[in-house]
Amino acid sequence: MNTPFPPPDLTPVFSPEVVAQRVKDLGTQIATDYRSLLEPQELLLTIGILNGAFIFLADLVRAMDIPLEIDFVRLTSYQDRLESSNYVVMLKNLEKEIKNRHVLVVEDIADCGLTLSWLLDYLRQMGPKSIRLAVAFNKEERRRVELAIDYVGFNVEKDFLVGYGLDFAQSYRHLPGVHKLKASS
Ligand code: IMP
Ligand code: MG
C-alpha cells in the first residue's frame, strides 16, 4: 500500500501558488533596487546558504533581470550546552572573492538569527561594497540576536515549518508549498 504524500501530519500554511507569486514579486523588487546601485559591467553576487536556501534562491534569481553571479556557503551550528551558546562551523566556503562586490545573502528562514548574524560578520570582514539579506520566511518572535533583514518573503509564527527548502530531518524540502508540522503547534 502506498503511504499518502504529503503525509497527514502536515498542515498547509502557504500554497505553492502563493509562495511562487510572493517570491516572484520579491525578486522583481530586489532587481529594481540593485539596478540603480550596480555600475555598468558590475554583477551582483548572490550567496545562498546550503542546504535550505537552494529552492528559494533558484526561484528568486530567475525573477531578477539584472546581471548576477551565484555562490553558496554551507554552515552548521551547534549548541554548546556547557556555555549555553551557539557556535557555527563552515562546511563549505565561498568560491568567489567578495571584496568590493555588492553581496546579497539568501537564506530560507531567519529563526534565532545566530547563524545569519555569524555569517554576516564573517562576510563583512572581507570588505564587500554592500551586504543585504533576503529570507523567504522570518520568525521574528524567536530572535535572540539583532538582525537587520532587507527582504522578507513571509513573516511567520514560531511553528516549525517544512517545504520550499525547509526540512525536518532532511525530509520535505522539495514540497512546493509550506506546511507546519502538526506536532509543533
Ligand atoms: P538560526 O536563525 O540561527 O536559529 O538558524 C536558522 C536555521 O534553522 C535555518 O537555516 C533552518 O535550517 C533552521 N530552521 C529554523 N526554523 C526552522 C523551521 O521552521 N523549519 C525548518 N528549519 C528551520
Ligand atoms: Mg538553513
Ligand 1 pocket list (CB less than 6 A): 52, 77, 107-116, 160-162, 166-167
Provide the CATH number for the domain around residue 147.
3.40.50.2020
Domain membership flag for residue 89: yes
Domain membership flag for residue 179: no
Atom of ligand 1 nearest to the CA of 77: 3
Q: Distance between CA atoms of 109 and 138, rounded to whole angstroms? A: 6
Ligand 2 center from residue 166 Cα (angstroms): 7
pLDDT of residue 83: 58
Residue 51 pLDDT > 80? yes
86 forms beta bridges with: 79
Domain membership flag for residue 42: yes
Atom of ligand 1 nearest to the CA of 139: 16
Domain membership flag for residue 6: no
Domain membership flag for residue 92: yes
- Find the helix or strand (DSSP H, E) in which 49 lies: strand 44-50
pLDDT of residue 84: 54
pLDDT tens digit sequence for 61-96: 999 999 999 999 999 887 666 655 678 999 999 999
Ligand 1: residue whose CA is nearest its atom 10 = 109
Closest CA relative to residue 98, chosen from 124, 130, 55, 128:
128
Phi/psi of residue 78, nearest 5 degrees: -120, 145
Please give the residue range of the domain that contains residue 79.
12-174
Domain membership flag for residue 185: no
Ligand 1 center from residue 2 Cα (angstroms): 30
Residue 182 pLDDT > 90? no
pLDDT tens digit sequence for 117-176: 999 999 999 999 999 999 999 999 999 999 999 999 999 999 999 999 999 999 999 999
The number of domains in the chain is 1
Atom of ligand 1 nearest to the CA of 118: 3
Ligand 1: residue whose CA is nearest its atom 12 = 52
Which residues are catalytically annotated?
A: 111
pLDDT of residue 70: 98
Ligand 2 center from residue 108 Cα (angstroms): 6
Domain membership flag for residue 134: yes
8 Å CB contact between 102 and 38? yes
Domain membership flag for residue 1: no
